[in-house]
Chains A and B, each alone.
Chain A
Amino acid sequence: MNPLLEQFLSEAREFLEGIGEKLMQLEQAPGDASLMNELFRLVHTLKGNSGLFEFPEMTRVLHAGEDLMDAVRNGRVAYCRGLADQLLDAMDFVGLLCDEIESAGRIVASRAADSARLAEALRAQIASQAMTDTARTSEDSTPAAGATAPAAPATPPPAPPPLADIPEAVRVEAYRRAQDRDSLYWIAYTPAEECFFQGDDPFFTVRQTPDLLWGRIVPREPWPRLAELDAYRCLLDFHLLTAAPRQELAEHYRYVPEQVRIMAVDPLLLVIPQGDSNGGPVSEDFAAAALHHLETGDLAALEQAAQTLLELSNPELWLSSALRWLLLLLDRVPDNHAALRLLIESLRTLTPPDWAAASAAPAETAAAAKDARPSGRVHAAKAPKPRSELSEEDAAALAAIFAAQRQILMLDDHPAWQPGRLKAVAGVLVNCCKASGDLTAQNEIEAALQEALATGDSAPLLAWLDGRRRGQPTTAQTHPAPAGADLTANAAPASGRPQPANSSPPPQSPATVDEAPRFGRRAEDVIAGPKSLKVDQGKIDRLMNLIGEMVVSKNALPYLAQRAEDQFGVRELAREIKAQYAVINRIAEEMQDAIMQVRMVPVSFVFQRFPRLVRDISRKLGKEVRLVLQGEETEADKNIIESLADPLIHIVRNSLDHGLETPDLRRACGKPTAGTLTIRAAQEADQVLIEISDDGRGIDPGVIKRKAYENGTIDEATLERIGDREAINLVFAAGFSTAAEVSDLSGRGVGMDVVRTAVEKVNGTILLESEAGTGTRIRISLPLSMAVTKVMIIESDQQIFGVPMDHVVETVRVPHTAIRTIKHSQTTVLRGRIVPLKNLNTLLELPATPKVNADDELAVLVVRAGGGMVGLMVDDFRETVDVIQKPLSGVLSDLAAYSGSALMGDGSVLMVLNVKEIV
């Protein structure tokens, strides 16, 4: 999974959460416009994001949701609980899709239909509400009319597909395929009129349809005159017959589910004799004889008679066509007497057998029609008793119950309580059937239950359910259908006992029954949680402290090894301790690194507030500013980044207020009217560099010098001596301000001083460069992390001190002769630069002179301090170590010479020098 997608998924979850929350809040305060806007924004953003990926299912639902929210926002649709429910449902669906994408990397094809349905439901909300609205406005006296309007207009049942248009040969083939257990589907594909502009090629899509048996292209409306024809408005409809599984079709048409209607086709409906309808009398005789054969069960004779008549007849005749079908049925489903009878009956009238009208529900329950029709028309006495009509809701509920029972039966664990479970299921089924007025079903279920209990297998009950689902009752004795036989036809009992069509199959609309797709999450659902974890910072800090302690205590091991060797003389042990130390050292370092990574945050954390800040301030000041942010992904320790926030805001404000000129002034100077403020972050070794630069007027050192002198920051001598570069850095001095008057932006004289303090607090350095007229640049360099400090240990007067490595430039041995004394200061020349030398002992007021080594060389530690370099004369250099620096507390906190103390591995305390203070 690519990072973009990963991010999308984690964001999407957050959005969904937010949307859910907002919806809840809206329930409390439906009139809150800002909440509504927020909600719309969330949905809108999520939709936009989803568009980046190929998830049409998701985008479609979100788009519909967005439209709905927009309508609500604009007051076209009133917010109500039902609407919220639908939105929540849709969002649950989106969440489900997210889970699917995360686990499988893609969306299951069958979701397309659900998605289309949900989107339609959402849009229906807009339409119905709009309708209600108009109703309300037109007839104010009858508001009830609006209230009772159904949420979604009931769609008329789809017209049965015009199967008669399919050539007989294709239908025969399709029928055979259906008998071979392929499902048949009629697809009506109505591409959107503007689809050509979206790069669609519906014809190509159609040609690629899997298992295509037949197809045709028909114009949607009469063709206009050529002169008026718009070639790019799609006026074509596509009709197809395919034997592919529904799943595959849904996958194939997943991008256009709302333009496609896929209808299951009962194979019997394909049996439509066609042709010239001459030659009636013969057929009358034949029909009588054939019915006789059928009743006596003499199928061989029937087949022979049909064969003979067919040979004698003109193949073009309607009669011949019917006979061909009769033979086919005899061949494939000889047991389906009802069907055969119906077909023979139709020979009398020369009208196609009316398979569809006889059945209550179209297509799917056509099998029941076979029974219902003859009993209804021919044998009126055996007419089924009128079944109690179920309301649509009840039917759906019933279907849901059946689906649930089915799921229970499908469980393939075999617990000890299996018999109890079976009984429970049977009980539910019986009660359901009773409730729906289907009394005869009870016996069948009982029988199935007995069989199931006997075998300990749920198959018989499942078989009953399956039979029922196809809309027909199945006797308990139904044995597994022989392979290849027509399942539906087989269900008609061989005994000839007319099975009343009493099953009253709930009027099922094909999509809603078996799946009953609800996307609502239940508490017990396994939630694929997001992969990121929010942890209290205190816990991480604790980890950090612990690993710090560990680093220190692991450092004790080398001392231990030394002791083992020196004091106890066990070399072997010393070596082993050292080996162990190496291992622990490696793990500790990795661990430290890992914990450090946890604390790392990108600087964008701070940067993200700048666009807004800059926009607001620059507008207030009437300046035009272009903000450039670079290196936002640079990472550093959270504490460091956080400590950076305030100084950066100060600096940006200063740049905007003092640095950048007004557009008029800029134009006068020949600069572009819009000033540029660049904030750049980069990582350099173990430092984070932040550079804030503007192309404004820069800082005039003269002004700074004079101001500094005026408010007493520098004395007269310094005023004379100080260079421009140093003068500019005077702005960091406490209480310094150049602004003539205090504004709400700056001028209080605390700005840059505070900035410097904040940066130095986290061991960072700040440097200002400026050129009058062309701009200012401030460079802040910060350590990546502050938990563990690398210090170099130096020795002086038999004591050890630590110097933070951040300050160390280099270590050199300087011969005594290379040291010159200028006035009272000692200096030396290093690579062409004069470096002032200071005696550490003197700085610390230790009464000792620096030691020299055998070659009469002094150890000089060159450190960076206050923008310059200083050489510290010490006795000797030692190793560098990682320490956890603890600030000095209590009475020691006044000792400015030390920045802190650290515990060494051998238990001694290392004082860490505050280089800036002592130099």
Chain B
Amino acid sequence: MPIEYQKKQALFRDVVSVEEAEGLLEWLQKKPAAKVDLSACTHLHPANLQVLMAAQTRIAVWPHDANLRAWLENALSE
């Protein structure tokens, strides 16, 4: 599972594919205050990204992948 849903936090791993977006959206709808941990994520499909952006989800840990982090910080911090 590229996304591991914990109690208050979702753990993104490796490449998070397009199929995950639906589940992520549902989960975030249920838990608006949840955070995501992107540390182990190397790439995520933009469908997921736009869900995170729209939900204004707080990021608990930014990705280790510097390139991805730069992109996401830009997009998710606004």
| Chain A residues packing against B (C-beta within 8 Å) | 191, 196, 201-204, 207, 215-219, 223-224, 226-227, 229, 231-232, 234-236
Contacts and interface: CB of A to CB of B under 8 A. Distances in A.
Given A196-B18, A227-B29, A236 B49 contact: yes
B45 A201 contact: yes
B43 interface: yes
A203 B46 contact: yes
Given A215-B71, A226-B25, A235 B50 contact: yes
A217 B51 contact: no
Given A229-B51, A231-B21, A231-B51, A207 B46 contact: no
B53 interface: yes
Nearest to B56: A223
A217 B51 CA distance: 13
B29 A203 contact: no
Nearest to A203: B46
A201 B29 contact: no
Contacts of B21: 231-232
Contacts of A215: 71, 74
Interface residues of B, number: 25
Contact of A234 (B32, B47, B71): B47
B46 A236 contact: yes
Given A203-B49, A223-B54, A216 B24 contact: no
Nearest to B25: A231
Nearest to A201: B45
Contacts of A218: 75
Nearest to A205: B46
A203 B25 contact: no
A224 B54 contact: yes
B46 A234 contact: yes
B67 interface: yes
Contacts of B40: none
Contacts, number: 71
Contact of B47 (A196, A216, A224, A226): A196
B41 interface: no
Interface of B: 18, 21-22, 24-25, 28-29, 32, 43-51, 53-55, 67-68, 71, 74-75
B54 A217 contact: no
A312 to B, nearest CB: 32
B50 A231 contact: yes
A231 B75 contact: no
Given A196-B45, A203-B43, A231-B25, 15 more contacts: A191-B46, A196-B18, A201-B45, A204-B43, A207-B71, A216-B75, A223-B54, A226-B28, A226-B54, A227-B29, A229-B50, A231-B47, A232-B18, A232-B21, A236-B50
Contacts of B25: 226, 229, 231
Contacts of B74: 215-217
20 contacts: A201-B45, A203-B43, A203-B49, A204-B43, A207-B68, A215-B74, A216-B71, A217-B49, A217-B53, A219-B54, A226-B28, A226-B29, A226-B32, A231-B25, A231-B51, A232-B18, A232-B21, A232-B47, A235-B50, A236-B50
A191 B46 CA distance: 11
A224 B22 CA distance: 16
Most buried by B among A218, A219, A226, A236: A226
Contacts of A217: 46, 49, 53, 71, 74-75
A216 B53 CA distance: 13
A255 to B, nearest CB: 16
B28 A201 contact: no
B67 to A, nearest CB: 7
A216 B71 CA distance: 6
Decide if the interface of chain B is mainly helix, strand, loop or mixed.
helix
B50 A207 contact: no
Nearest to A218: B75
Given A203-B44, A217-B75, A234 B18 contact: no
A219 B49 contact: no
Contacts of B32: 226
Contacts of B49: 203, 217, 236
Given A219-B53, A226-B54, A207 B67 contact: yes
Contacts of B54: 219, 223-224, 226, 229
Given A207-B71, A226-B25, A219 B50 contact: yes
A838 to B, nearest CB: 82
Q: Which 8 pairs of residues, A with B, have the shortest CB-CB distance? A: A223-B54, A231-B21, A217-B75, A203-B46, A231-B25, A216-B74, A231-B47, A229-B54
B26 to A, nearest CB: 9
A236 B21 CA distance: 14
B49 to A, nearest CB: 6
A207 B43 contact: yes
B35 to A, nearest CB: 16
Contacts of A204: 43, 45
A258 B71 CA distance: 24
A223 B49 CA distance: 12
Nearest to A206: B71
A204 B49 CA distance: 12
Contact of A203 (B24, B45, B51, B55): B45
> Max chain A CB contacts within 10 Å: which of B46, B67, B75?
B46
Contacts of A223: 53-54
Contacts of B67: 207
A235 B18 CA distance: 14
Contact of B46 (A201, A216, A226, A229): A201
Contacts of A235: 50
A227 B54 CA distance: 10
B22 A231 contact: yes
A91 B43 CA distance: 41
Nearest to B55: A226
A207 B71 CA distance: 9
B48 to A, nearest CB: 8
B25 to A, nearest CB: 5
B36 to A, nearest CB: 14
Nearest to B51: A231
A204 B51 CA distance: 17
A236 B46 CA distance: 8
Nearest to A204: B43
Contact of B50 (A201, A216, A227, A234): A234
Given A203-B44, A223-B54, A236-B49, A231 B71 contact: no
A267 B46 CA distance: 31
Contacts of A201: 18, 45-46
A52 B32 CA distance: 46
A538 to B, nearest CB: 63
Nearest to B21: A231
Nearest to A191: B46
A781 to B, nearest CB: 59
B17 to A, nearest CB: 9
Contacts of B46: 191, 196, 201-203, 217, 234, 236
Contacts of B24: 231
A213 to B, nearest CB: 11
Interface centre among A202, A203, A232 (most CB of B within 10 A): A203
Nearest to A219: B53
Contacts of A226: 25, 28-29, 32, 54-55
B19 to A, nearest CB: 10
A226 B54 CA distance: 7
A234 B54 CA distance: 12
A355 to B, nearest CB: 25
Contacts of B45: 196, 201, 203-204
Nearest to A197: B18
A212 to B, nearest CB: 9
Contacts of B55: 226, 229
A228 to B, nearest CB: 10
B2 to A, nearest CB: 14
Contacts of B43: 203-204, 207
A218 B75 CA distance: 7
Contacts of B75: 216-218
Nearest to A224: B54
Q: Which of A215, A231, A235 is most buried by chain B, counting CB atoms within 10 A of its CB?
A: A231
